[in-house]
Amino acid sequence: MSLGTSDTLVYLIAIPLFSSAFLLLGGRALDRVGHLIGTAASASSFVVALIELNKMLGRDAESRGVTQHLFTWINVGSFQIDATLLLDQLSICFVLLITGVGTLIHIYSISYMAHDIDRRRFFAFLNLFIAAMLLLVLGNSYLNLYVGWEGVGLASYLLIGFWNQKPTYATAAKKAFVANRVGDVGLSLAVMIAFVQFGAVTFDGVAKGIEAGSASSTALNAMGAAILLAAVGKSAQFPLQAWLGDAMAGPTPVSALIHAATMVTAGVYLISRSNFVFDNAPTAQLLVVIVGAVTLLFGAVIGMAKDDIKKALAASTMSQIGYMILATGLGPAGYAFAMMHLLTHGFFKAGMFLGAGSVMHGMNDEVDMRKYGALRKVMPITFATFGLGYLAIIGIPPFAGFYSKDKIIETAFNAGGSKGIILGCVTLLGAAITAFYMTRVMLMTFFGTKRWDSAAHPHESPWLMTVPMILLSIGSITTGFIFSNGDRLKNFLAPVVDKHHHEHETELLAPIVVTGLAMFAVAIGISIALAKYSRKTIPASAPTDVTVWTKIARRDLLQDDFNETVFMRPGQSLTRVLAFLDKRVVDGAVSGVGAMTLRLAGDLRKTQTGYVRSYALLILLGTVAILAAILVVTV
């Protein structure tokens, strides 16, 4: 793929970045207009993105990528790293999602955060996140990407802990930050391996080095595993998924932007961008598939047991990203479908998170679905938009998830052999469980009898909140058909993720059969949910006489317990041992040498009496000792 040049890519990042700095440094004078400035900045980046997309579509498919050199960042001997931006078919998808959905969330936040005294700071952090995420997807090297990668980690920490006056919220932010740092070790290792093996860290340099055979299979598998570790941390995949549920402590627009549409999908981007690594590293690619399969079931099971509407959606996000990660592990056949599901998911999941925020807005910030019920009557727009997202995520045709998730299920079956059968069954089981817990969310929130107390006065949200929800719900309806029609998105992305235009080598099941199986799985999930929740009174508190499996699911499948047992407590014990060794052994040795020196100095000091006769006696004794030594030696 040939690359042209552009002088305007930097504006995508510069606009929200300067807006963030201006809002943070401008002081209280900007309190009345800070939210408008932040929203205008995000919208301006979206306009620039649309202009760049129009330019891209005007060029040949093989020459649509463009770069912009900013400055030389590192120049040591023969090693040089430039701060350069790359906009191609893969990155433009993310840029449009980040700025488009991000702008709608900014608009929603104007009303949602209207009474918060720190609203200006909130919008500054949103802009900072947008800028960092854009840098992540526009960097032309792993090192440039790493800067944006760390930037979104910082921004997410600031936004999750935005209401850090509550200790639990501050703890949730720290938990997310630490889990992401573990993943960041993987990205650091990947950069080091790339430098050692290829002498370059740019995507193009690594790809050419692999083509030239500059690295062994072991090195490529190690690099792929390191990249996967980075993706696992950022995208809340097994075994580093424990932070995502707690991250719901942040304001709901944060959940929509970071934990549905953008940051948690960064791992999918990283693996897709590194397709040249994984296509030549079969062991690492298999690990990607395993992580995706485990996580999509893991998240789905957790979602079944959550009464907190935001945590149920967070578990759903974990599961849906598991589908995307699995697809990226299926090679050239899966990258485009992973991206398709990522884009459709960005619309319907962001819409549902905003819908959850709308419900909370009308219910005095109550998040327990057991205290909802019958809200469709008093919140019809929220019900309709959330409902369209629900139909999209469970995969009902012609909604977006039907096209994107079914393609992943089909590709899983076509992986070949027993691997294809296992993966296909896992994806179908995930679809059935998704249909169950999302139907449960709909029934507990919008149907049945009202279960709220007299203090709650549910009502529809203002238009600044409902309009973004309506626009996102339109995306929930249309994006799947638009992207899949004529394999439009697959062909668009092919020059980046499938340069050799691979085709399926096997077709275990025809697409129509896969669709039938998926619809059957969805029908089973819906039927079980209807039987369990539509005809029975939902108790005000979660029942305690439940199976051990339900209790485990409520505890997030013991992921926190596992981390505490395997990592935290042994880490604390190791820290105590090291502290003891440092204090008693290291410091003791140092203190002992010092004390001994002082004692010797004290004893020697006693010989300095100040009397001439004492000194004369010592001189005499010394002389006698020397003469005696000489006589002994000569004899």
Concatenating the DSSP letter of every residue in 375-443 gives TTTT-HHHHHHHHHHHHHHHT-TTSHHHHHHHHHHHHHHTT-HHHHHHHHHHHHHHHHHHHHHHHHHHH
Q: Based on the fold, state whether residues 539 and 409 are members of the same structural domain.
A: yes
Contact of 224 with 284, CB cutoff 8 Å: yes
Residue with token string 């029975």:
536
Q: Is residue 63 part of a domain?
A: no
Q: C-alpha distances in angstroms, 274 versus 207, 264, 335, 580?
A: 9, 17, 11, 45
DSSP string, 232-281: HHHTT-TTS-THHHHGGGS-HHHHHIIIIISGGGHHHHHHHHTHHHHTT-
Give the number of other CB atoms < 10 A from CB of residue 77: 5
**Distance in angstroms (rounded) separating the CA atoms of residues 133 and 99:** 10
At 541, is the secondary structure helix, strand, or coil? coil
At 449, is the secondary structure helix, strand, or coil? coil
Sequence-distant (6+) residues with CB within 8 A of 267 are 230, 231, 232, 233, 234, 235, 237, 321, 325
Q: Is residue 33 part of a domain?
A: no
Give the number of other CB atoms < 10 A from CB of residue 129: 27
Q: Based on the fold, state whether residues 490 and 570 are members of the same structural domain.
A: no
Q: Is residue 273 part of a domain?
A: no
Give the number of other CB atoms < 10 A from CB of residue 4: 13
Sequence-distant (6+) residues with CB within 8 A of 240 are 179, 182, 183, 232, 233
Q: Based on the fold, state whether residues 348 and 473 are members of the same structural domain.
A: yes
Give the per-residue pLDDT at 1: 65
Q: Which two tokens stand for residue 198?
A: 């290829």
Question: Going edge to edge, which strands form the sheet with 3-5?
Answer: 3-5, 65-76, 79-87
Phi and psi, residue 184, nearest 5°: -65, -25
Residues of the chain with pLDDT under 70: 1, 500-506, 635
Q: Based on the fold, state whether residues 546 and 567 are members of the same structural domain.
A: no
Q: Based on the fold, state whether residues 589 and 527 are members of the same structural domain.
A: no
**Residue type at position 395:** G
Q: Is residue 575 part of a domain?
A: yes
Q: Based on the fold, state whether residues 610 and 549 are members of the same structural domain.
A: no
Q: Based on the fold, state whether residues 535 and 572 are members of the same structural domain.
A: no
DSSP string, 282-301: HHHHHHHHHHHHHHHHHHHH
Q: Based on the fold, state whether residues 627 and 519 are members of the same structural domain.
A: no
Helices 417-446 and 511-533, packing angle to 10 deg: 40
Final residue of a domain: which of 554, 575, 606? 554
Phi and psi, residue 508, nearest 5°: -65, -45
Give the per-residue pLDDT at 500: 65
Give the per-residue pLDDT at 635: 62
**Distance in angstroms (rounded) separating the CA atoms of residues 425 and 29:** 58
Q: Which two tokens stand for residue 311?
A: 């945590």
pLDDT tens sequence across 56-86: 998 888 888 999 999 998 888 777 888 999 9
Sequence-distant (6+) residues with CB within 8 A of 635 are none
Contact of 325 with 369, CB cutoff 8 Å: no
Q: Based on the fold, state whether residues 529 and 575 are members of the same structural domain.
A: no
Q: Based on the fold, state whether residues 479 and 428 are members of the same structural domain.
A: yes
The pTM of this model reads 0.89
Q: Based on the fold, state whether residues 528 and 578 are members of the same structural domain.
A: no
Give the per-residue pLDDT at 385: 96
Q: Using omega within 30 degrees of 0 as the cis cutoff, is the peptide bond preceding 462 cis? A: no
Q: Is residue 256 part of a domain?
A: no
Count of the separate structural domains present in the chain = 2
Q: Is residue 571 part of a domain?
A: yes
Q: Which two tokens stand for residue 594?
A: 């010092």
Q: Is residue 104 part of a domain?
A: no
Length of the chain (residues): 635
Q: Based on the fold, state whether residues 497 and 625 are members of the same structural domain.
A: no
Final residue of a domain: which of 534, 554, 574? 554
**Distance in angstroms (rounded) separating the CA atoms of residues 488 and 481:** 10
Phi and psi, residue 66, nearest 5°: -135, 155
Final residue of a domain: which of 554, 577, 594? 554
Which DSSP state fits 539? P
Contact of 157 with 215, CB cutoff 8 Å: no
- Domain interval for residue 610: 563-634
Q: Is residue 246 part of a domain?
A: no
